[in-house]
Structure 1
Amino acid sequence: MNAPGADGRAAGGPDGRAGGPPRPARLAAADVVRLGAAGLRARPLRMVLSAAGIAIGIAAMLAVVGISASSRAGLDRTLAALGTNLLTAAPGRTFSGADAALPPESLAMVRRIGPVRAVSATGTVDAKVYRNDHVPAAESGSIAVLAARDDLPETLRATPARGRWLTGTSPDAPVVVLGATAAERLGIRGPGPRVWLGGQWFAVVGILAPVPLARELDSAALIGWSAARRLLGFDGSPTTVYTRSLDAAVEQVRAVLAATVNPQAPNEVLVSRPSDALAAARATDVALQGLMLGLGAVALLVGGVGVANTMLISVLERRAEIGLRRALGATRAQVCGQFLMESLLLAATGGAAGVAAGSAVTAGWSWWRSWPVAVPWWALAGGLAATLLVGAAAGFYPALRAARLTPTEALTG
């Protein structure tokens, strides 16, 4: 037995309890972080290479989510500007399989639909357009010639990129407005030049900006309705009727549009909503996003394996340090906590770098495509959470292995 001390209690450890070694000091959370950071600073190159694997995975996933979100935001902004209340009616086929036609009075009948606010049309003209009169007739350049109503830009919300629309000149004047793609194919950069259209010269007075909801205009040469009838023998039958309706009544107008355009044969009329094609493109982007997220997850997994490998090698290289710490009184839990903290800090460093890189890629790509930058907050939080989970999972086994080493094994191994 131990002899009693001056205060009448049995002599023992520093805490006054009888016998046994003193309890090891507890490490505060800040101390554990400092120990983990010191272990990483001792091998900076290895830390950078291991963190890079995590950073690439997080950056890939965040960039995919951010670019997809920015793309959808840009599409939503475009639809808001162009409107989703545009409907088109075009001729289909007859029961015998022949090409159908719309009656010339189609526009007047559509204007009688109450919720319709704007109506316009284009008609296909049997003519070809060339840069000059020396081009062989077999080379069409895939440029359609369309007769256009004066109110077409207002209905489609189309704007000239250069020059002006057909209005402002005589209705029968031989002038033409080119779509963006048609102008590029003809090598025309602005108003002024003449083109050989339908066997005669037409002056180019404008070039349209791309029209997202009427892509057929981009590769067309547009001439006035009256000029097409007088100069090129156009019969006045519309090929495509464009209507703008009240937003709340689009579906009702869509239901009666075919019967209104061609009451004698509504089954020969094709009615469409151009904005639906853009919505379908957005759905395709979502499917592609799932694929790219899978690739990002694989990259993150590879980064986690790299972290686990780095920590395992670190345990093997630092056996002497582990043995010394154990000999000085460090517990298994403290050693385990030190190496687990190193793994977490390593993963967190890679995750922070990945979030920054992914955000920068999203911002740069969105700026280049003129999209609003949209990085969802859940993607940022999820990226950081994923790195911590990967770090904990990757560091668990190496930390457990370090904790299991006895002082004798560590110092003599």
Structure 2
Amino acid sequence: MKALPNAARLRTRDLAVVGVDGLRGRPLRAVLSALGIAIGVAAMIGLVGISTSSRAGLIADIEKLGTNLLTVEPGTTLTGKDSELPKSAEDMVSRVPGVTSVSAVGKVEDATARRTDKIDADTTNGIAVQASRTDLLKTLGGKMRSGTFLNAATSKYPVVVLGTDAAGRLGIDRAGAHVYIDGRWFMVVGILDEVDLAPEVDRAALIGWSYAEKLGFDGNITTLYEKSTDATVDKVRSVLGYTVNPEHPEEVAVSRPSDALTAQAAAERTFNALFFGLGAIALLAGGVGIANIMVISVLERRQEIGLRRSLGATRGQIRLQFLTESVTLSALGGAAGVLIGLGTCVGYAVYRGWPTVLPADAIVGGALAAVLIGALAGVYPARRAANLTPTEALATN
């Protein structure tokens, strides 16, 4: 008797055609199955990409704003009471080597800024009335959104410059309007842009230092702002407490506003691991869905399997066919997820004005994870299909 010839090997191209044909026969099911993988990969890439772009935007802001601005505020005494900065603090700090500019604000106690005199005096809207030096804008590196800042002439009169948040809360969008402060009308001569390194200024109504004294301002400094050269900022920071209050330097609180942005950038980096985890969970759920669909596919295609086995297909070829279908289905979902995730990342970064940073690790990791999960999800259905004998597969239930 003549021996039967060995079964022909499936070429890669033929294998791909068989795998795609298996999915094309049930397109809606294939799309819904791949959707779980697409959502997982898109979530991973989109979230990590947004976090990475946000961090890049913060770093760019830090580089633009600089790290050479320091703030000095009153601390607490040994008895727990609020301390005060000496009125000579500005002059003393300006003499420190490396210091390039010094300015200050002081809170005008019991004064509130209101849109009209009809509003209750106790309604503050979170706006602090602050006496301001005329060089505050220069020291902070701020910009005007509308109008001009206080100068030597206007600071002697009832005029006010509003921080961006204060203007919004008062419903004022341009210079020339009036607000009611401590029983008298003040003309708004300017509105500030957002000051990233001094958010407290965004919520303030700034009036001239000399005019504030007419409202009972005692001249005490609430916050002193100091800017030095990049090379000397650390050295200046180490001596500011002793310079401002030589007798009690421990009662002086010195901080660098840019440290908050740096900490925020570092915190966002730690969230990447969480975002990877969320994407992985979605991918696993998608993998379970693919495994379920492939098991159903094996049950529905028993006659096809039996016919192919009868025509000489080996167990390995059947196993490889269904494994290819599973991997192809997962890979298509992964590719769709990559495109969706990248589109989300780029679109949101452009909307927020951040640098667009594509997360290469998330893109590569998401794509590889999709293929790996597809392979794992297809192992059991493929083995089940391969273990069917032609007689079992062709038998009708």
Tell me the TM-score normalised to structure 1 length: 0.91
Residue 288 of structure 1: how far off its partner (Å): 4.2
Structure 2 alignment gaps of length 5 or more: none
Counterparts of 1:313-328 in structure 2, within 5 Å, are 313-328=296-311
- Aligned residue in 2 for 1:37: 20
- The one-letter amino acid paired with 2:71 is T
Do residues 346 (structure 1) and 329 (structure 2) align? yes
- Aligned residue in 2 for 1:178: 162
Counterparts of 1:8-407 in structure 2, within 5 Å, are 19-126=2-109, 127-167=111-151, 169-229=153-213, 231-407=214-390
- The one-letter amino acid paired with 2:165 is T
In structure 1, distance between residues paired with 2:326 and 2:249: 70
After superposition, give the CA deviation of every residue in 1:311-354 in whole Å (9 maximum; x if it has no partner).
Answer: 11111111111111111111111111111111111001100111
In structure 1, distance between residues paired with 2:66 and 2:361: 30
After superposition, give the CA deviation of every residue in 1:261-290 in whole Å (9 maximum; x if it has no partner).
Answer: 111211110011112222333344345444
**Residues matched between the structures, number:** 395
In structure 2, distance between residues paired with 1:159 and 1:347: 52
- The one-letter amino acid paired with 1:199 is G
In structure 2, distance between residues paired with 1:109 and 1:58: 58
Residue 310 of structure 1: how far off its partner (Å): 0.9
- The one-letter amino acid paired with 1:307 is I
- The one-letter amino acid paired with 1:164 is T
Residue 96 of structure 1: how far off its partner (Å): 2.8
- The one-letter amino acid paired with 1:305 is V
- Over the residues paired in the alignment, what is the CA RMSD in angstroms? 1.7
In structure 1, distance between residues paired with 2:348 and 2:237: 37
In structure 1, distance between residues paired with 2:210 and 2:100: 23
In structure 1, distance between residues paired with 2:190 and 2:338: 46
Structure 1 alignment gaps of length 5 or more: 3-18
- The one-letter amino acid paired with 1:118 is S
- Aligned residue in 2 for 1:15: none
In structure 2, distance between residues paired with 1:308 and 1:248: 61
Residue 98 of structure 1: how far off its partner (Å): 2.5
- The one-letter amino acid paired with 2:351 is W
In structure 1, distance between residues paired with 2:279 and 2:189: 50
- The one-letter amino acid paired with 2:114 is Y
Residue 209 of structure 1: how far off its partner (Å): 1.4
- The one-letter amino acid paired with 2:315 is R
Residue 61 of structure 2 aligns to a residue whose secondary structure is helix
Which deviates further from its counterpart, 163-172 or 86-95? 163-172
User: Aligned pair in 2 of structure 1 residues 168, 38: CA closer, same or farther (>3 Å)?
Assistant: farther
In structure 1, distance between residues paired with 2:381 and 2:142: 64
After superposition, give the CA deviation of every residue in 1:49-106 in whole Å (9 maximum; x if it has no partner).
Answer: 0000111111111111011101101111111121122111101122233221111221
In structure 1, distance between residues paired with 2:125 and 2:36: 50
In structure 2, distance between residues paired with 1:248 and 1:202: 42
In structure 2, distance between residues paired with 1:297 and 1:242: 47
Residue 249 of structure 1: how far off its partner (Å): 2.9
In structure 2, distance between residues paired with 1:233 and 1:268: 25
- The one-letter amino acid paired with 2:15 is V
Confirm or deny: 8 A CA contact 2:134 2:152 kept in the other structure.
no
Identity across the alignment (%): 55
After superposition, give the CA deviation of every residue in 1:163-213 in whole Å (9 maximum; x if it has no partner).
Answer: 221137444122110011111221211111111222222110111112121
Residue 87 of structure 2 aligns to a residue whose secondary structure is coil
Confirm or deny: 8 A CA contact 2:154 2:208 kept in the other structure.
no
Tell me the TM-score normalised to structure 2 length: 0.95
Residue 365 of structure 1 aligns to a residue whose secondary structure is helix
